Amino acid sequence: MKYSLRQGFAINVGFVVNSKQILEAINLTNLVLSDLPASLYRSIDYKTTSSIVGSVFGDSLASKTDAIVNPIEKGHPDLVPPEAANSTEAQLRNYPRGLEIKTTVGNIVQGANLRAGQVRVGKLIGVTWQAHHREVKELLARISHQD
């Protein structure tokens, strides 16, 4: 697959994340997701699909960086520095360092009538961050499509 990445990108959010690690995590995510049956994607909604992709990508990126997945399900950000493992549940709900991950972004053309599993990138007309994503300091968004 072909990806557009900003070469040389690096950010320190309590651990370093760079473009090479992101690409490695994307490739690992694709490998894991390709093992799941296509019927799964046809039988679940976009929110559930996004949740699965986000969880797998987060775990993949954590494995490529010096990060851990936030151990609190509703905790933010999604990836936190290793020292956060010693934090309380209250602290992990809104940890001051780390990286939030969003795997579906974008507003689509009204009336596009996309179905689960269909490519949506060509229908994007803008990007909107919603809910807790507006409150985090560092947000990594991933837009996937096939050519």
Condensed to tens digits (0 to 9), the pLDDT of residues 23-77 reads: 999 999 999 999 999 888 778 876 787 788 889 999 999 999 999 999 998 898 9
Give the whole-angstrom CA distance, residue 126 versus residue 42. 25
Work out the pLDDT band at 129, boundaries 50, 70, 90: low
Over residues 83-101, the mean pLDDT reads: 94
Cβ 33 vs Cβ 65: under 8 Å:
no
Is residue 85 classed exposed, middle or buried when 0-12, 13-18 and 19+ CB atoms within 10 A define those classes? Answer: exposed
**What CA–CA distance (Å, rounded) separates 146 from 69?**
27
95 touches 74 (CB < 8 A)? no
**pLDDT, position 44:** 82
Q: In the structure encoding, which two tokens stand for residue 138, read together?
A: 């560092």
Residue 13: Cβ within 10 Å count: 20
Spans of all domains in the chain: 10-141
pLDDT surpassing 90 at residue 82: yes
pLDDT of 57 reads 93
Give one DSSP letter per residue of 85-111, joined into a string.
GGS-HHHHTT-SSSBEEES---EE-TT
Radius of gyration, CA atoms only, the chain: 16
